[in-house]
Amino acid sequence: MPEQGPFNRVVIIVLDSAGIGEMPDAADYGDAGADTLGHTLGSREVRIPNLRDMGLANIRRLPIEPVENPAGAFGRAALRSRGKDTTTGHWEMGGIITSNPFPTYPDGFPPRVIEPFEREIGRRVLGNHPASGTEIIKELGEEHMRTGRPIVYTSADSVFQIAAHEQVVPLEELYGWCEIARRRLTGQDTVGRVIARPFTGEPGSFRRTEARKDYAIDPPEQTLLDLMKSEGLAVSAVGKIGSIFCHRGTTQELQAGNNDAALDQTLRALKETGRGLIFTNLVDFDMLYGHRNDVEGYARALERFDARLPEIQEAMRDDDLLLISADHGCDPADESTDHTREYVPVLAWGRRARPGVDLGTRSSLADIGQTVAENFGLEIQAGRSFLKDIS
């Protein structure tokens, strides 16, 4: 067993898409001026006293006041990888720097992708263009119910999404179609994720369900999760973390369809998980608010998370460490509904962690993973640990 560091368990909570301002190369991605947290916090008085107390507003000037003595360590991290998507951000946290961004399809999927897929599932598809998931089922949901043809769409992200009504296409069949797509999307068409998007309801009142399922690609190299599991450490994955890492390197996967459910499962993991890592993704920030340009929804989600943050802290043991960060931006005040190329916040808190430490601007999200690795006497292939700064 590797040498034990100062913390027995580490909890990483990823506020999916909660960027904290444009990176120097943001204009190259069409994201000049992006500022997910800045624009959200500036939209009205957003009440997040716990995040503020931890040091969020000490990272940089924000529309909320910094505190004189932050309870946590604070900083921001750049995304060193090429890209600005969920897979890229989480993989970098796990130690993989992605040099070639995953492909995107602003004009829809070409015949080389769609035609073999249609032949294998025995049906033609509807849609096949970039769209909001809620809008495309409004547009094509009735025709889908009449014909049984799946709705295929993408976004500005590297995703192949298949929407189907649960009473028209059983979930297992929809998942089977996704597995076919995942198997076929290789080479130049290796998208980051294939996503099943089931929905229910009637025309005019369709509703996406929480039976969504993601099919990522296998990480090309060993990640922090793989390394920890191989050393006999616990790796409890909450929400979509398991699917992001292609269900590799986890010892427990706790499903959650929204932020509150993910926090409930994190609390469960804090009761059950032994020495190791609890890794949680809070998807609502990105899926429900960033991609829908819903600034008010984003603000409410921040307030809701902040209100529940003390539950997490109270459930933590004295030798636990909490790390809060994000994987990319998705500015709800932006003109587009795409992810945005931004720095992400880094907050660290624990009863045995040093408060008030300015971690500065980290060169990579991998610094988070390297910090976790060093705590357990391990080392991943990228990143610079800040463990000694906070312990």
Chain segment 3-55, per-residue pLDDT in tens:
678 999 999 999 999 999 999 999 999 999 999 999 999 999 999 999 999 99
Given 184, 216, 248, the domain boundary residue is 216
> Do 202 and 344 belong together in one domain?
no
Domain total for the chain?
2
Please indicate, yes or no, if residue 2 is contained in any of the structural domains: no
> Do 207 and 224 belong together in one domain?
no
> Do 228 and 376 belong together in one domain?
yes
> Do 156 and 304 belong together in one domain?
no
Q: What is the CATH number of the domain that holds 194?
A: 3.30.70.1250
> Do 230 and 183 belong together in one domain?
no
Please indicate, yes or no, if residue 106 is contained in any of the structural domains: no
> Do 237 and 195 belong together in one domain?
no
Task: For residues 161 and 370, give the distance between their C-alpha atoms in angstroms, rounded to a whole number.
Answer: 33
**Cβ atoms within 10 Å of 47's Cβ, excluding its own:** 13
Query: What integer pLDDT is reported at residue 80 of this predicted model?
Result: 97
Does the pLDDT at position 318 exceed 60? yes
Please indicate, yes or no, if residue 104 is contained in any of the structural domains: no
Please indicate, yes or no, if residue 58 is contained in any of the structural domains: yes
Please indicate, yes or no, if residue 103 is contained in any of the structural domains: no
Query: What integer pLDDT is reported at residue 103 of this predicted model?
Result: 92
Query: What integer pLDDT is reported at residue 134 of this predicted model?
Result: 87
Q: How far is CA 134 from CA 53, 167, 179, 349, 390, in A?
A: 36, 18, 23, 37, 43
Given 186, 216, 246, the domain boundary residue is 216
Given 216, 232, 252, the domain boundary residue is 216
> Do 199 and 317 belong together in one domain?
no
Residue range 264-276, pLDDT digits in tens: 999 999 999 999 9
> Do 274 and 380 belong together in one domain?
yes
Percentage of the chain exceeding pLDDT 70: 99
Q: What is the CATH number of the domain that holds 49?
A: 3.40.720.10
Does the pLDDT at position 226 exceed 80? yes
> Do 148 and 54 belong together in one domain?
no
Please indicate, yes or no, if residue 385 is contained in any of the structural domains: yes
Instruction: Grade residue 1 by pLDDT with cuts at 50, 70 and 90.
Output: low
> Do 283 and 355 belong together in one domain?
yes
Please indicate, yes or no, if residue 116 is contained in any of the structural domains: yes
State CA 28 to chain mean position distance: 22
Please indicate, yes or no, if residue 376 is contained in any of the structural domains: yes
Tokens of 125: 């598809």
What is the extent of the structural domain holding 154?
111-216
> Do 86 and 69 belong together in one domain?
yes
Instruction: Grade residue 2 by pLDDT with cuts at 50, 70 and 90.
Output: low
Task: For residues 373 and 54, give the distance between their C-alpha atoms in angstroms, rounded to a whole number.
Answer: 23
Residue range 124-182, pLDDT digits in tens: 999 999 998 889 999 999 999 999 999 999 987 899 999 999 999 999 999 999 999 99
Asked if 249 and 91 count as a contact pair (C-beta separation under 8 A), the reply is no
> Do 266 and 233 belong together in one domain?
yes
